[in-house]
Structure 1
Amino acid sequence: MDTSSTHYLCLTAALAPAYNLQQPIPVTIEQLTGILCCTPRNVKFILRKLEEQQLIAWIPGRGRGIRSQMTFLRHIDEVLEERFQELVSKGRIKPAIELIGQYPVNEPLKERLLAVLDKQMGFWREPGSISGQEVLRISRNRAMEKLDPATVYTAFETYLLGHICSTLITYDAQNGIFLPGLAHTWEANESNTSYLFYLRKGVRFHHGRMMTSRDVKETLQRLIGLRSPAICHFEDIIHVELEGDYVIRFDLVQPNFFFLHLFSSIYMSIVPYDVDFAVHPVGTGPYQVVDLSQDVLVLSAYDFYYGIRPLLDRVEIWYLPHLASGVRQYQLTGASTSLNSLPAAEDGRSHNIDYPAVGCRYILFNFRKEGVHHHPAVRQAMRIIYNQLALIRELGGNRIMPADSFLPWQSSKYEFAEPQLEEARALLEEGGYRGEAVKLAYRACKEDQDEANWLQERSRKIGLQLELYPLGDYDLPDLVNQADLVICEEVLEDDWQWGMINYFRNESNYLHHLLLDSQKSELTEVLKPFARLAAGERAEILELAEGKLRDNDWVLYGCHMNKKAQLSQNLFGLEPGSFGFLDISKLWVKSGFE
């Protein structure tokens, strides 16, 4: 049908709302030229094509003042669905998505189209490709966040940047050691006030130039110039010296035993000094960016990667916030595959991976907004309403254990109790609550929606008017101005100490924007000696900082989550990466014997 169906959809969208199917519509050629944006001659050609394909019946007007008559023979939904399937079957995902945005789509049709789209997600061998190119397509039901290592904070974008960029060193969380990255070795002086990195030779950026020590220095300078929300981590650096093209020295104002963690973090992903990463994302990672828009990110395996070339040739991430319909299913040789939880594959040819996330779900109060939640008794009442045991028992799902910390091993030490809801009523009275609405913000995802409705119902039972306020993705100004409290989830990197200190100090997250300056000063004072301490003492400092959040009820911990994946038995190289996502660069598909 190709262009004919597009012309038919265009005509029906303009004319059909006023007329029924099979009802003649009086029109003129001049009127149709305006709708189809073409000449009268082309309009007549299009009409002939539509007639031939039995999409319309056309009776030309004969004589002065007599209008032609056009009758639509097929329903717009039917033609739209056929056109959508045609585009998707040819791998033209973007035009197919645009089709849904151009024409009115009812919910039943939308679900059918999403089912068609879902079948195009997952792992594919491109038809007609001599080399058998393997492609992974992933869909995300939210908008893309800014893809820049200097400013990134969201887990998924951080994960993607880890495939585009490389750091000087990497952290092996399982063994608690650092491994070579872009630097093949490194050393520190006895006082840990100066660090030397020796860079690999022959490492190419995606735009072809060789990496040198100047790129490392300019990467740090870029964080400073862009006022990166993570720049506070690097404030000990007072001088950077290039000791040749492949050796770089960092001098510090004081001993820093946490310094290597900083240079394995996403913020110190080395980017070229001669390219604006914000305009052209260029790194040294296993994948290079070949397409980037608000709808899709396309990554292609980089043949000149200094490490081991990825086995998957291309990765497409489709951002479909306006098409969100819950969990996406990814097909691979007849079995379901997902980076999220999925129902069991029908043919049973799958296996599950469970990886309990380091981090938890929690509620954070907005102290920037006036309200009854400033009274400790009201926050204590919310602690009873948001009870961890009741949350897991009544909502279940991937909520696997009650949380009293971001760290599951810390939570396991705590003995949880479940007070009666009526105890919260007395605390509300003590806090001066008089029936006013308390606004709870949440994101448009299933876990948040379930918890928001659950909290609203429990609050109603004790007379607390909890008003639900859905948020756009990471809409901080809206949150600060409107909400009294917000449902959050924090998932930490494998390097959990880095994840924790970044949570406390990073200026782009909810904690930074919703606490008062005086509260943040208290946290800063607790964390001040952090970088000068050994690992065990750093853990104690982080525990003290969490105690500030917990004991003052600034944060109400909820539950730890289990991130599940159901994967085809044909999928190999399954290595969880940062935040529990699979390391795409290690994946490959095994076809096996027929």
Structure 2
Amino acid sequence: MDTTTTHYVRLATAKELFLTLDEPVPVTIDSLSDALCCTPRNVKFILRKLEEQGFIHWQPGRGRGHYSEMTLLRSVNETLENHLRELIGRGKIKEAIELIGTIDIHKTLQEQLLRSLNKHMGFHSHVETASGQDVLRMMRSRRLTGLDPAYVYTAFETYLLGQVCSTLITYDVKTETFLPELAHMWESSEDHKMWTFYLRKGVRFHHGRAMTSRDVKATLQRIQDLDSPMSWHYRDVERVEADGDYCIRFYLSRPNRFFLHLFSCIPMTILPYDVDVSKKLIGTGPFQIIEMNEDVLVLSAFDGYYGIRPHLDQVDIWFVPELGPNEHHYELPRTDRMKLNTSNNETTLVNYPALGCRYILFNFYKAGIHHQLEFRQALRLVYDPVRLVKELGGNRITPANSFLPWKSAVTTWHETSLVDAKKLLMRSGYEGEPIILSYPVNKGLKEANWLQQRGKEIGLNIELHLSAHYPHPDKYKDATLMMAEEILEDDWQFGMINYFKNKSNHLHAYLTPAVQFILDQKLDHFAQLDNEKRSVLLDEAEGLLRDNCWILHGCHMNKKAQLDQSIFGMQTAEFGFMDISKLWIKNQ
């Protein structure tokens, strides 16, 4: 915020001055000096600037002991909105975001400024050149925690990696088959202990070099060398042999019928062997990163992409203060996110019932009453999925007793009894001690309050703590309960086994080694089974979580996106995000 605007907002919001818009108010130079935290001499200089720029009308007092009069000519809202528009017009998006995030204003005004900013986000066509440049701007309320495929954890980061990098093959959720990507063909031995991939020729990384089998080998070696949370999946690989630049073979210690899933997942995106991607991410995908910091991620279409070049030339993803509901927004200028109406002719609502669910898990690294099964069973009744959906609604669409919606759908649901919950609580030996519940910023408070109130009805004392480090779990926190959300990949079998085996997720952060060993034993032979038997085994493993109340399933979620109807080519990528490589905008 420039100094003149800062001074005006400081004066207009100073409670001790009692200033009112369009009404002259008696003031003294000393009182203004206190409000502005400056000398009386500087006050006179500031007043002159404010009057010259039309912020105030100033009538100095005549004679000793007479008050001067100040009239505010602009509302604080108008002043800040005008300044915001000025910053955006000058291309200072970072300063505009800082204006919203740093000034001490009422929440309603902050939301109003966010709406104003949102009007200027979305699609912009720059026609300074004959060819023009199509730019899409997006806003996100959570900053990136990293874009290293070996450590990727969140859904949004996984989605972004899919726009920048490519895998050997892709999983087609509609046909439940695999399609060529960087590899144009593949085969396995009859015993599924040797897998061969034949690479596409002419694929280039963003830094210009052609991709070869050496890059594929180095990518897998990197996962193993880093002891990536994903390394468990590749533990059976004994050796890798490159047969020239475009053929690579993997030799396994035991059969693996799940092997193709492991080479279509984002953590196994192919990286160049000659670049340290922990410092600069280089891939072969439709977009390349040209800028990445805590404020913005800028993606530029890669002209050398081996597939169909994106229609968009650039995508800017700005990280702003909290945006409220957990929805994704891809909009054009003049579109007000807060007033979008799905019944009009200007916007399109995209619904994406996501695989996965909201759930609660217990911190078994902490001593306490939650180690008693009856306590966890009592909380199971308090955290009633049926009541959760019915009473809180929103994007909570169906009750869950599995991460998979079709599993939950065959359940016969009934509301639970708090009377039964109270009996279990008493039998557990609970004596009223506080139970700390950690909930995620931006989307967990409403649900946490609901659970806290339900607990009070049976004498359960739940204290709410905001999780400052969400989404990354931390087993050394003091919380007993953690509210979490797991969104699975479209390749649901990979999503489920990765949930059970990924070392960096919530489950591994809070289950003790003894419990993890039980799950490891159950799932050890997972990859040797055929598709149907793998499904049965995953159901049995999830049954262990459910029957022992190691986690409490809550509800399935619906992800929403509001899009202006001028955006075409809308295709949903994984996790409910739009595939920006397919989007194009029809100029009006």
Q: Verify same fold: TM over 0.5.
A: yes
Is 1:375 paired with 2:363?
A: no
* Structure-2 separation of matches of 1:124 and 1:79: 25
2:557 aligns with 561
Task: List gaps (5 residues or longer) in structure 1.
Answer: 27-31, 36-43, 59-68
Residue 8 of structure 1 corresponds to 4
Counterparts of 2:384 and 2:437, CA distance in 1: 16
1 CA distance for matches of 2:348 and 2:52? 51
Q: Is the CA contact 1:167–1:182 (under 8 Å) kept in the aligned structure 2?
A: yes
State the distance in 2 between where 1:326 and 1:169 align: 31
- The amino acid across from 1:532 in the alignment is Q
SS of the residue aligned with 2:485? Answer: strand
591 and 84 in structure 1: CA distance in 2 versus 1, 3 angstrom threshold: closer
Q: Specify the alignment match of 1:212 in structure 2.
A: 212
Whether the aligned pair in 2 keeps the contact of 1:142 and 1:324 (CA below 8 Å) is: no
Going from structure 1 to structure 2, the CA distance change for 1:266 and 1:476 (only over 3 Å counts) comes to closer
- Which residue of the partner structure matches residue 151 of structure 1? 151
| Corresponding position of 2:426 | 429
Alpha-carbon distance in 2 for matches of 1:376, 1:333:
54
Greater shift in the superposed pair: 461-470 or 117-126: 117-126
Query: How far is the alpha carbon of 1:542 from its aligned partner?
Result: 0.4
Tell me, yes or no, if structure 1 residue 387 matches structure 2 residue 384. yes
SS class of match (1:317):
strand
301-310 or 268-277, larger mean C-alpha shift = 268-277
Aligned to 2:470: 474
Is 1:488 the equivalent of 2:472?
A: no
Give the secondary structure class of the aligned counterpart of 1:512: helix
How does 1:270-419 map onto structure 2 within 5 Å? 270-321=270-321, 330-332=330-332, 343-345=340-342, 347-419=344-416
What are the Cα deviations for residues 364-410 of structure 1, in whole angstroms up to 9, with x where unaligned? 11111111111010111111111111111111222222212111111
1:349-368 alpha-carbon deviations (Å, 9 max, x no partner): 33433222111111111111
Query: Do the aligned partners of residues 469 and 333 (structure 1) sit closer, same or farther apart at CA in structure 2, a change above 3 Å counting?
Result: closer
Which stretch of structure 1 is more off in the superposition, 329-338 or 492-501?
329-338
User: For residues 538 and 478 of structure 1, do their structure 2 counterparts lie closer, same or farther at Cα, with a shift above 3 Å needed?
Assistant: closer
Q: How far is the alpha carbon of 1:131 from its aligned partner? A: 2.5
Report the equivalent of 2:568: 572
Greater shift after overlay, 537-546 or 129-138? Answer: 129-138
**Alpha-carbon distance, 1:124 to partner:** 2.4
Quote the Cα distance in structure 2 between the aligned partners of 1:199 and 1:565. 36
Contact 1:494 1:578 in 2 (8 A): yes
- Distance change >3 Å, CA 413–CA 47, structure 1 → 2: closer
- 1:519 alignment counterpart: 515
**Code of the aligned partner of 1:184:** H
1:444 aligns with 2:426: no
Counterparts in 2 of 1:438 and 1:281: CA distance versus 1, 3 Å:
same
| 8 A Cα contact 1:476 1:513, kept in partner | no
CA distance, structure 1, for counterparts of residue 216 and residue 447 of structure 2 = 44
Name the stretch that deviates more: 564-573 or 325-334: 325-334
Whichever residue aligns with residue 493 of structure 2, its letter is Q
Counterparts of 1:293 and 1:198 in 2: how far apart (Å)?
Answer: 37
CA distance in 1, matches of 2:178, 2:326: 38
Return the offset for 1:45.
Answer: 12
**Structure 2 regions of 5+ residues with no counterpart?**
20-24, 31-35, 59-67
Letter in 2 for 1:383: R
Q: 1:505 aligns with which of 487, 501, 504?
A: 501
Deviation per CA, 1:60-84: give whole Å up to 9, x if none: xxxxxxxxx9x99877945443222
1:331 Cα deviation after fit:
3.6
Match of 2:537 in 1: 541
Contact 1:143–1:473 (Cα < 8 Å) also in 2: no
Give the CA deviation at 1:226.
2.2
Q: Which residue of 2 aligns with 1:128?
A: 128
CA drift at 1:326: 6.8
CA contact (8 A) 2:354 2:575 kept: yes
In the TM superposition, residue 336 of structure 1 has moved relative to its aligned partner by 6.4
Distance 1:135 1:555, change over 3 A: same
Equivalent residue pairs, number: 565
Give, in whole Å, the separation in 2 of the partners of 1:333 and 1:47: 36
Structure 1 counterpart SS, 2:2? helix
For 2:272 and 2:586, locate their aligned partners in 1 and report how far apart those are by CA, in whole Å: 36
Note the C-alpha offset of 1:456.
0.9
- The corresponding residue for 2:240 is 240
- In structure 1, give the amino acid aligned to 2:570: L
Q: Deviations over 1:202-221 (max 9, x none)?
A: 11111111111111111112
Q: CA deviation at 1:590?
A: 2.6
Root-mean-square deviation over aligned CA pairs: 3.3
- Could you say if the C-alpha distance between residues 120 and 129 of structure 1 is closer, same or farther in structure 2, counting changes exceeding 3 Å? farther
Inter-CA distance 335–18: structure 2 relative to 1 (3 Å threshold): closer
Q: Is the Cα–Cα contact under 8 Å of residues 440 and 483 in structure 1 kept in the other structure? A: yes
Give yes or no for contact 1:143–1:321 (8 Å, CA) kept in 2: no
Residue number in structure 1 paired with 2:527: 531
Please state how far the C-alpha of 1:95 moved relative to its aligned partner.
Answer: 2.0
**Structure 2 CA distance for partners of 1:330 and 1:89, relative to 1, 3 Å:** farther
Superposed, 1:46-65 pairs within 5 Å as 53=53
Aligned to 2:64: none
Match of 1:585 in 2: 581
Conserved 8 A contact 1:442-1:486: yes
| Percent of aligned pairs with the same amino acid | 52
CA distance in 2, matches of 1:328, 1:496: 22
Query: Would you say the 8 A contact 1:376–1:552 is kept in 2?
Result: yes
Measured against aligned partners, the alpha-carbon deviations of 1:122-159 in whole angstroms (never above 9, x if no partner) come to 22223535323222222112222211111001001100
Deviation track 1:476-532 (CA, whole Å, cap 9, x = no partner) reads: 565642111111111111100000000000001000010011100000011011001
Distance 1:207 1:337, change over 3 A: farther
Question: For residues 189-230 of structure 1, what are the alpha-carbon distances to aligned partners after superposition, in whole Å with 9 as ceiling and x for unaligned?
Answer: 221111111111211111111111111111112212322111
Distance 2:101 2:345 in 1: 36
Provide, for residues 42-100 of structure 1, a one-character-per-residue CA deviation record: whole Å limited to 9, x for no partner.
xx999998775456999xxxxxxxxxx9x998779454432221112344211212334
| Deviation for aligned residue 1:114 | 1.1
User: In 2, Cα distance between the equivalents of 1:199 and 1:224?
Assistant: 22
Task: Name the counterpart of 1:140.
Answer: 140
Partners of 2:9 and 2:492 in 1: how far apart? 54
Alpha-carbon distance change, 389 to 129 in structure 1, aligned in 2, over 3 angstroms: farther
Note the C-alpha offset of 1:575: 1.5
Aligned AA (2:293): S
CA contact (8 A) 2:327 2:561 kept: no
Amino acid at match of 1:124: H
1:330–1:337 contact (8 Å) kept in structure 2: no
Which runs of structure 2 are paired with 1:112-127 in the superposition (5 Å)? 112-126=112-126
Whole-Å separation in 2 of the counterparts to 1:320 and 1:481: 27
- Please give the alpha-carbon distance, in whole angstroms, between the structure 1 residues aligned to 2:275 and 2:523: 36
Question: Aligned with 1:482: secondary structure?
Answer: coil
**Separation in 2, partners of 1:396, 1:52:** 52
Does 2:247 align with 1:251?
A: no
Aligned to 1:29: none
- Residue 544 (structure 2) pairs with residue 551 (structure 1): no
Preserved contact between residue 336 and residue 566 of structure 1 (Cα < 8 Å): no
Alpha-carbon distance between aligned partners in 2 of 1:240 and 1:207, rounded to the nearest angstrom: 25
* Paired position in structure 1 for 2:33: none
